[in-house]
């Protein structure tokens, strides 16, 4: 239990930041899910649009320190690669 005034304030600040970070993480993961669903449905155009919003949410989260920047880059790269193969198979 916090005893000092500054420690009590720090606890409140941490609680607020945790809530904000949780919302950012949830938004990011939901955007990944929408890309996965578009890929599963086979709709390359919808997947590309979903990837744009997912990349934005992911990089914002990485910039704010919610996730590591390498994780964000890796995830976006892998999703992009899967969409590229989906688009390529449609054209061939």
Span 57-82, mean pLDDT? 97
The pLDDT of residue 87 is: 79
What predicted TM-score, i.e. pTM, was given to this entire model?
0.82
Cα separations (Å) of 91 from 40, 47, 49, 87, 88?
Answer: 17, 15, 18, 7, 5
Q: Residue ranges per domain, the chain?
A: 5-91
The whole-angstrom separation of Cα 39 and Cα 50 is 10
Backbone angle region of 22, left / alpha / beta, with phi > 0 → left and psi within -120 to 50 → alpha: alpha
Span 11-20, mean pLDDT? 97
Backbone angle region of 37, left / alpha / beta, with phi > 0 → left and psi within -120 to 50 → alpha: alpha
Q: What percent of the chain has pLDDT over 70?
A: 96
Q: Which residues contact 63 (CB under 8 A, 6 or more apart)?
A: 69
pLDDT class of 90 with cuts at 50, 70, 90 = low
The CATH fold of domain 5-91: Methane Monooxygenase Hydroxylase; Chain G, domain 1 (1.20.58)
Q: Is 90 helix (H, G, I), strand (E, B) or coil?
A: helix
Choice between 60 and 86, residue whose per-residue pLDDT is larger: 60
């Amino acid at each position: 239990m916090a005893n000092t005034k500054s420690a009590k304030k720090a606890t409140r600040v941490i609680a607020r930041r945790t809530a904000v970070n949780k919302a950012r993480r949830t938004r990011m993961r939901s955007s990944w899910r929408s890309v996965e669903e578009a890929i599963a449905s086979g709709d390359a155009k919808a997947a590309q649009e979903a990837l744009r919003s997912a990349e934005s949410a992911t990089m914002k989260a990485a910039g704010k320190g919610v996730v590591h920047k390498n994780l964000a880059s890796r995830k976006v790269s892998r999703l992009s690669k899967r969409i590229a193969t989906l688009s390529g198979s449609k054209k061939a």
